[in-house]
Amino acid sequence: MSPSVRGRSPIRIVQLFGDLLGTYGDGGNALVLERRAAWRGFPVTRVDVTALDAIPRDGDIYVIGGGEDGPQSRAARLLAESGALDEAVDAGAAVLAVCAGFQIMGHSFVGPDDTTVDGLGLLDVTTTRSRGPRIVGEVLVDADPTLGVGRLTGYENHAGVTRLGAAATPLGRVVGTRTDGPVAARTEGAFDGRVVGTYLHGPVLARNPTLADRLLAWALDLEPGDLDPLDDASIDRLRAARTAAALSGDADRGDPGPLVRIRRRLSR
């Protein structure tokens, strides 16, 4: 047990709206945080907030996931009305927002019937609908070096295209070519302070323990390097398998078409 463990108040992990936004196994992110804290001996509590519950203002890490347009708009409204998340972020809480949750953290996104819905503005990003097909497949991302989390692996599946403003930093740069849609964004996700948004599923923390530990370290006011190492052998094997799949072109994206094939060949 780390010396820093003794006498600590529990890390409070808040899983937001598993009922509204839990389409992609997103509850897994909270489970990963919970287990990695507990395995190191840190006391941890988890609060699962539904659309009918009050949102805690004193969470250390808030986790929100992906889902459909209608529930996404409702989640955004509930968060805006409550103000709890803005308050917690001001007080230093960390946020992991995935897919629809990522879009909610921005200025606006596309709701039901192509309406524009206001987000929370915790990230300087704006989401519009992709003019191309849904963006689906394996992604590898070299995360921003200041985060110290290395290479991220994930699976994306979304119709929204998120553009970053000046105040948001890309979560990382896409390794290789992300081929779908006319924009073919070369960066993935965004972060600002301790608010992290991404399209990566897997769930993202299950595939990327360094990112989970980054969030835990924020909550503990430690550096990730201060955390005891864990037995991540099974995760290392998964990362190796998914990385190989993404790099081999078996990235689940189907045939990207001749232009992209040529571009990929040239970029090798």
Radius of gyration of the chain from its Cα atoms, rounded to whole angstroms: 18
- Judged by CB under 8 A, the residue of 5, 47, 80, 136 near another protein is 136
How far apart are alpha carbons 194 and 220 in whole angstroms? 12
Closest to another protein by CB, 163 vs 230, is: 230
Closest to another protein by CB, 14 vs 135, is: 135
Smallest gap from Cβ 38 to another protein, in A, equals 10
Is 200 designated active site? no
- Which of these segments, 64-72, 85-93, 141-149, 184-192, binds another protein (CB under 8 A)? 64-72
Q: 94-98 and 108-110 as β-strands: parallel, antiparallel, unpaired?
A: unpaired
102 part of the interface to another protein, by CB under 8 A: no
199 part of the interface to another protein, by CB under 8 A: no
Closest to another protein by CB, 78 vs 168, is: 78
Q: Which one is catalytic: 201, 207, 242, 253?
A: 201
How far apart are alpha carbons 68 and 20 in whole angstroms? 8
Backbone CA torsion sign across 112, 117, 120, 122: positive
Smallest gap from Cβ 230 to another protein, in A, equals 10
Contact positions with another protein (CB under 8 A) in 138-197? 155, 157
- Judged by CB under 8 A, the residue of 27, 176, 193, 256 near another protein is 27
260 part of the interface to another protein, by CB under 8 A: no
Closest to another protein by CB, 4 vs 157, is: 157
Catalytic residues: 99, 201
